[in-house]
């Protein structure tokens, strides 16, 4: 049967696939719109299977908060090349995933992939994008954060996204929270404070420190004391509140927050980045 331009256009609006791909899919399915959609989705799946071992190290990160500033999401959508990552259509697609995530607040990535995005699941929309672009496209990371005051921050052209949860609301807290988010983007702390560092990490750092001290030829009875000192330095460099504030190295991040609003502190944070 003859395939009309209106049919091709309708399929293109539904799937986002190219005109020729839509025409071929309709031709192969004798104009059956649902079958053509499945055809294109299968094509996307073939691309996904073929490229399963390909590296998808490029992409964008989107971080959003709700109007009340009490909930936020950050999502990482990856592709294979920087060329695609900078494409306006790919960025808009990633933004649409972030928008539906903020609206629905799924608890994890698996739940996000099952959400409806313009009539299809996010998972199926990813297949459609793969069929259209010809690259591996995936949602690699997703985080949800809630609190009295949640601040979002995007850095380096959507390469890094940060969410910060503060214990107090208000504009002063939000401004300080943004500074804290910039700190997190730049300095990559492992936790808010030393209490958030897993014991396995602490044990590993102590083992490394002891070996370093022994290699320096220090007496065995001094090893543990010096190793504890090295651990203290590790905490200072790798926990947010103890880090030197990047905008003013004369104070810590904890002091910056206290100066902004008495009693203000960061309760939690999430950081996603493309290769950084």
For tokens 């936790």, name the residue.
191
pLDDT tens-digit series, residues 7-37: 988 888 777 777 888 899 999 999 999 898 8
Q: Tell me what pLDDT residue 47 has.
A: 66
Tell me how far apart the terminal alpha carbons of the chain are, to the nearest angstrom.
Answer: 52
Domains of the chain, by residue range, sit at 5-50, 55-146, 198-238
pLDDT tens-digit series, residues 188-240: 999 999 999 999 999 999 999 999 999 999 999 999 999 999 999 999 999 99
pLDDT tens-digit series, residues 39-62: 888 887 676 777 777 778 899 999
Assess whether the region 55-146 and the region 198-238 belong to the same CATH fold. no
Whether 108 shows a pLDDT value over 80: the answer reads: yes
Helices 122-133 & 5-15 angle (0-180, nearest 10): 120
Whether 276 shows a pLDDT value over 90: the answer reads: no
Q: Tell me what pLDDT residue 157 has.
A: 86
Percent of the chain with pLDDT over 70: 99
Which three-class secondary structure string do you get for the chain?
A: CCCCHHHHHHHHHHHCCCHHHHHHHHHHCCCCHHHHHHHHHHHHHHHHHHCCCCCCCEEEEEEEECCCCCEEEEEEEEECCHHHHCCHHHHHHHHHHHHHHHHHCCCCHHHHHHCEECCEEHHHHHHHHHHHHCCCCEEEEEEEEECCEEEEEEECCCCEEEEEEECCCCHHHHHHHHHHHHHHHHHCCCECCHHHCCHHHHHHHHHHHHHHHHHCCCCHHHHHHHHHHHHHHHHHHHEHHHCEECCEEEEEHHHHHHHHCCCCCEEEEEEEECCC
Instruction: Tell me which CATH homologous superfamily contains domain 5-50.
Output: Ubiquitin-associated (UBA) domain (1.10.8.10)
Contact (CB, 8 A) for 130 and 137: yes
> How far lies 98's CA from each of 87, 94, 217, in Å?
17, 6, 54
Instruction: Tell me which CATH homologous superfamily contains domain 55-146.
Output: Elongation factor Ts, dimerisation domain (3.30.479.20)
Q: Tell me what pLDDT residue 118 has.
A: 92
Q: Tell me what pLDDT residue 54 has.
A: 77
CATH number for the domain formed by residue range(s) 198-238: 1.10.286
């Amino acid at each position: 049967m003859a395939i009309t331009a209106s049919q091709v256009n309708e399929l293109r609006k539904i799937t986002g696939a190219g005109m020729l791909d839509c025409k071929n899919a309709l031709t192969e399915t004798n104009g059956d719109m649902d079958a053509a959609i499945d055809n294109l989705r299968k094509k996307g799946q073939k691309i996904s299977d073929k490229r399963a071992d390909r590296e998808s190290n490029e992409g964008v990160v989107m971080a959003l908060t709700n109007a009340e500033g009490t909930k936020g999401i950050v999502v990482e959508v990856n592709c294979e090349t920087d060329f695609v990552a900078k494409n306006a259509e790919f960025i808009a697609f990633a933004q649409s995933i972030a928008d539906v995530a903020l609206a629905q607040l799924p608890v994890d990535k698996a739940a996000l992939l099952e959400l409806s995005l313009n009539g299809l699941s996010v998972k199926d929309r990813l297949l459609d994008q793969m069929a259209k672009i010809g690259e591996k496209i995936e949602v690699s990371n997703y985080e949800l954060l809630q609190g009295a005051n949640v601040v979002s921050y995007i850095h380096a052209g959507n390469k890094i996204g940060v969410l910060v949860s503060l214990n107090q609301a208000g504009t002063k807290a939000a401004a300080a929270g943004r500074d804290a988010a910039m700190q997190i983007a730049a300095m990559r702390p492992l936790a808010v404070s030393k209490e958030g560092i897993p014991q396995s990490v602490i044990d590993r750092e102590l083992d490394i420190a002891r070996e370093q001290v022994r290699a320096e030829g220090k007496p065995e009875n001094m090893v543990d004391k010096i190793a504890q000192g090295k651990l203290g330095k590790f905490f200072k460099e790798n926990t947010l509140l103890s880090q030197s504030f990047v905008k003013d190295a004369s104070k810590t991040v904890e002091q910056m927050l206290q100066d902004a609003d008495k009693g203000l502190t960061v309760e939690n944070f999430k950081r996603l980045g493309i290769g950084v």
